[in-house]
């Protein structure tokens, strides 16, 4: 069992080594007093809750993981792993590039090779081309199923709520891959019927929202709940728990381990996390998603103290508004204290979209 905190940890390599990958990111405050003894108060809720789940021993996946992979992405996570190391027996840290340059690609390539060797050492399974190819196909199938679900959300009326679709995107990180693929395809079969019958979870012409920004880990449903109880429907998530994390497949046609590893690098190097500088692909992707899912507006979701996404939200919002795409910028955490205030702002935004 290998645990991870980032979509840059390639599930293909983990599965090829006969291990299982689980997402360990947490979406609820826990043991905050204990957490603030080891982390500064002004750390993002995602990182704090990771520590809360460890210190409170509430996450069974974390307790049984044979390897926990940290990654050098944002400064918060990078430094937090230094403090997490002594709390767990088996932390492995992966370096991640910060620029989409040839040097950046070379770093990712060498880090994925090092990770493959670490997985092989852990599981005592030599990863050959056959194993890697099968793993790539398994993960591609899982991603294809979620792409199918996303496309169905383009219909008006929306055949599934944003909250339910977010849950499917969250389960992506926990379930057995084959079972997940089958379950999502079953949901899609049902949704196809609903679309054909023009049945929706909200009436046709309900304002449609695209969420964009920080990932929402289980059980962080705060903002989607606010949006969908304020007269709008969420039709897509530009997020790592969403399309930023799941889009693009790995080319499985390679014949050798080297070819297949390169295909993995190629796919993951396209992830447009805000830790990259500059990061123009993310804005392009938001605009593409607005069109593809017929969104009427974008809500940018930034966790308090998340420098990469909060910094990036300002030019992103400006660029969207220049293109006449209405946008609302939200900055919040996991607490429920600001729910009333957020609901008022979201309701006013949705009213404006009508
Ligand atoms: S690829 S988004 S999963 S790093 S919210 S901890 S950025 S301060 S989560 Fe992420 Fe990988 Fe990027 Fe995706 Fe830091 Fe911000 Fe906290 Fe965050």
Task: Cis check for the bond before 112: say yes or no (omega within 30 of 0).
Answer: no
Mutate to test the pocket of ligand 1, among 81, 306, 333 (most ligand atoms within 8 A of CB): 306
For the beta carbon of residue 37, count every other beta carbon within 10 angstroms.
9
State pLDDT tens for residues 84-137: 999 999 999 999 999 999 999 999 999 999 999 999 999 999 999 999 999 999
Ligand 1, CB cutoff 6 Å, lining residues: 6-8, 44, 46-47, 73-74, 76-77, 214-215, 240, 271, 273, 275, 303, 306, 308-309
Query: What distance in Å separates the CA atoms of residue 214 and residue 211, rounded to the nearest whole number?
Result: 9
CA distance 350 to 354: 7
What does the block give as tokens for 301?
Answer: 């979701």
DSSP E strand stretches across the chain: 2-4, 21-23, 67-72, 91-95, 208-213, 233-238, 297-303, 327-332
What is the full DSSP assignment across 184-242?
HHHHHHHHHHHHHTT--SS-TT--EEEEEES---TT--HHHHHHHTTT-EEEEEESTTT
SS3 329: strand
Distance 63 CA to ligand 1 centre (A): 22
Give the three-state DSSP class for 100.
coil
Residue 110 and residue 131 in contact, taking contact as beta carbons nearer than 8 Å: no
Token digits of residue 76:
């918060």
pLDDT at residue 210 in the model: 98
Q: In whole angstroms, how far apart are CA 203 and each of 159, 161, 340, 344?
A: 10, 11, 25, 22
- Establish whether the linkage from the previous residue to 73 is cis, with ω within 30° of 0: no
- Reading the block at residue 194, the tokens are 């609903």
pLDDT at position 150: 98
Q: Any bridge partners for residue 303, and if so which?
A: 332
For a ligand 1 pocket test, name from 53, 240, 305, 316 the mutation site with the most ligand atoms within 8 angstroms of its C-beta.
240
Give the nearest ligand 1 atom to 75 CA: 14
Tens of each residue's pLDDT in the chain, 354 residues: 999 999 999 999 999 999 999 999 889 999 999 999 999 999 999 999 999 999 999 999 999 999 999 999 999 999 999 999 999 999 999 999 999 999 999 999 999 999 999 999 999 999 999 999 999 999 999 999 999 999 999 999 999 999 999 999 999 999 999 999 999 999 999 999 999 999 999 999 999 999 999 999 999 999 999 999 999 999 999 999 999 999 999 999 999 999 999 999 999 999 999 999 999 999 999 999 999 999 999 999 999 999 999 999 999 999 999 999 999 999 999 999 999 999 999 999 999 999
Tokens encoding 71: 């990654």
**pLDDT tens, position by position, 293-316:** 999 999 999 999 999 999 999 999
Please measure the distance between the N-terminal and C-terminal CA atoms of the chain and give it in whole angstroms: 48
Residue tagged 């399974």 (tokens): 125
Q: What are phi and psi of 97, to 5 degrees?
A: -65, 160
Under 8 Å between Cβ of 241 and 163: no
Strand-pair partners of 71: 94
Round to whole Å and give the CA distance between 102 and 249.
21
The predicted pLDDT at position 287 comes to: 98
Could you tell me the CA-to-CA distances from 171 to 47, 192, 217, 249 in Å, in that order? 20, 21, 10, 19
Which run of H or of E encompasses 92? strand 91-95
What's the pLDDT score for residue 61? Answer: 94
Residues in a beta bridge with 209: 234, 297
Query: Mapping DSSP to helix (H, G, I), strand (E, B) and coil, where does residue 300 land?
Result: strand
The first and second tokens of residue 181, run together, are 């693929």
Q: Hey, what are 197's tokens?
A: 């019958």
- How remote is the CA of residue 318 from the centroid of ligand 1, in Å? 22
């Amino acid at each position: 069992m290998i645990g991870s905190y980032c979509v840059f940890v390639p599930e293909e390599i983990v599965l090829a080594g006969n291990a299982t990958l689980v997402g360990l990111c947490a979406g609820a405050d826990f043991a905050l007093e204990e957490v603030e003894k080891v982390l500064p108060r002004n750390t993002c809720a995602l990182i704090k809750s990771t520590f809360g789940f460890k210190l409170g021993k509430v996450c069974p996946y974390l307790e049984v993981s044979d390897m926990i992979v940290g990654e050098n992405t944002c400064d918060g996570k990078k430094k937090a792993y230094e403090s997490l190391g002594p709390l767990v027996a088996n932390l492995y840290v992966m370096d991640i590039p910060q620029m989409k340059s040839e040097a950046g690609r070379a770093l990712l390539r060498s880090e994925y090779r090092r990770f493959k060797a670490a997985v092989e050492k852990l599981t005592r399974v030599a990863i050959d081309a056959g194993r890697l190819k099968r793993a790539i196909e398994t993960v591609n199938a899982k991603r294809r199923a979620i792409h199918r679900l996303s496309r169905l959300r383009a219909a008006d009326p929306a055949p599934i709520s944003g909250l339910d679709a977010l849950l499917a995107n969250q389960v992506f990180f926990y379930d057995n891959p084959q079972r997940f693929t089958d379950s999502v395809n079953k949901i899609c079969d049902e949704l196809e019927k609903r679309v054909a019958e023009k049945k929706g979870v909200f009436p046709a012409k309900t304002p449609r929202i695209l969420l964009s920004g920080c990932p929402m880990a289980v059980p962080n449903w705060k903002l989607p709940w606010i949006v969908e109880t304020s007269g709008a429907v969420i039709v897509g998530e530009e997020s790592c728990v969403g399309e930023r994390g799941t889009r693009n497949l790995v080319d499985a046609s390679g014949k050798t381990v080297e070819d297949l590893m390169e295909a993995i690098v190629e796919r993951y190097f396209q992830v447009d996390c805000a830790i990259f500088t500059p990061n123009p692909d993310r804005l392009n992707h938001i605009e593409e998603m607005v069109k593809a899912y017929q969104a009427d507006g974008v809500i940018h979701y930034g966790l308090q103290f998340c420098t990469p996404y909060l910094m990036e939200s300002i030019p992103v919002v400006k660029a969207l508004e220049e293109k006449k795409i209405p946008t609302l910028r939200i900055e919040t955490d996991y607490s429920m204290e600001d729910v009333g205030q957020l609901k008022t702002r979201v309701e006013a935004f949705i009213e404006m979209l009508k």
